[in-house]
Amino acid sequence: MKLHILAGLLISFVVAYDAAAQTTDEARQIQILQSSTDAEKEDACRRLKQNGTAKSVPALAQLLADERLYQSACDALETMPSPEAGEALRAALKTPSGNAKAGIIHTLGEKRYRAAAADLAQILNNTDPLIASSAARALYAGAPNIERVDRLVQAIAKQKGQSLAAIDDTVALVDAKLEENRRKAA
């Protein structure tokens, strides 16, 4: 009986020590994200990908607009199950452009963050083909229903006697994928 109690105490101590060590390490990695070189920040992102929590989301979110570090931040945020990670990515859709924005969109798709589906649908009509195609791929993550800004743009263009192949292709692509997603969900 005493042996069971001793073993239980030892296990409790090890678990508590490990949790305290992870908390300390996370705090150290957050500090690195706020004040170190790019290489050190990339390493901190890799470590936070493994054991980061919602506490590290604000520091990682600051890196999403950085063309050199956005991918490392996206990788860390993608693996975090907290809603704060998804919301940080969603909020970042408003700021960066180019590769950073495409990376954020891709991460939202990989994360299957459904709360961003409407935001992604609006991005389908972006003039940057990298951004628009990233949004379409993110929608491929499995959403059965989304708001369809692409169809609205297509309808308005047709009313004015205009057509844009990129919009028509996007509409067809999204229609097909949503139908597939609905069949899978049923």
pLDDT per residue as tens digits for the range 115-147: 888 888 788 777 777 777 777 767 666 655 665
**Would you kindly state where each structural domain of the chain is located, as residue ranges?**
19-92, 97-186
Question: Tokens representing 38?
Answer: 């790019």
| Res 74: pLDDT | 95
Give the residue ranges of DSSP H helices in 36-145.
38-51, 57-62, 70-79, 83-92, 98-111, 117-123, 129-139
Tell me: the pLDDT tens digits for 71-92?
999 999 999 999 999 999 999 9
| Res 11: pLDDT | 57
Q: How many secondary structure helices (H) and strands (E) does the chain include?
A: 10, 0
